[in-house]
Amino acid sequence: MSRSHPRLMTGGALLVLAGLSALSSGMAAAADAGSPQAVIEVRQASFKKMGAAMKTIVDQLKTDAPDKARMAAAALVIGSYTAEVRGWFPAGSGAEAGVDTDALPYIWEARAKFDAIADRLAPEAKTMTTVLAGDDMAAVRAQAKTLGGVCSDCHHSFRAD
């Protein structure tokens, strides 16, 4: 199965496109699978799912009897995306692509800082799953804050609004 990693391949194609666009502007706007528009649609749709999962956790923690099974399922959803986050931001997928995105140019100016925050997601999502398997609701609350803190750390620096 040589095409088993379409998203990774999309990232590579975009890098090539970004380079070509200096020679042939307009090409990067083509609406094929590797276009900035397609990449941005995938990342926004995926972030929406992560956002919904985070909301499930936060909402459960506001109830008198938080549903651990629901929170654990949500933590797994977040965990399932963490390895992809860096790959959602290939060069050329910012506002310069002419599409609607809240990704700030600072992402590509401070890539190491961006990647370092992205890399904190996986271990924190995993810890969320671990504490949810136990009986310490205070630990669950603390970890929800820590995990949500990774999201907002990145959004503060790298996302418009």
74 binds ligand HEC, rule: CB under 6 A: no
- CA 90-93-35 angle, to 5 degrees, is 95
What is the smallest separation between the CB atom of 11 and ligand HEC, expressed in angstroms? Answer: 14
Nearer to ligand HEC, 43 or 131 (CB): 43
Distance CA 61, CA 99 (A): 36
60 binds ligand HEC (CB under 6 A): no
Which C-beta is closer to ligand HEC: that of 23 or that of 98?
98
Q: Which stretch binds ligand HEC (CB under 6 A): 21-29, 41-49, 64-72, 134-142?
A: 41-49
Look-up of token digits 């924190």: 124
Those residues whose C-beta lies under 8 Å from the C-beta of residue 146, and which sit 6 or more positions away, are 124, 127
With CB under 6 A as the contact rule, the residue among 75, 121, 128, 140 that binds ligand HEC is 121
Q: Please give the Cα distance from 24 to 17 (Å, whole number).
A: 9
Phi-psi region of 103 (alpha: psi -120 to 50; beta: other; left: phi over 0): beta
Q: Which of residues 75-104 bind ligand HEC (CB under 6 A)?
A: 78, 85, 101-103
Compute the Cα dihedral for 74, 80, 85, 86 and give only its sign. Answer: positive
**Positions that interact with ligand HEC (CB under 6 A):** 40, 43-44, 47-48, 50-51, 54, 78, 85, 101-103, 114, 117-118, 121, 150-151, 154-155, 158-159
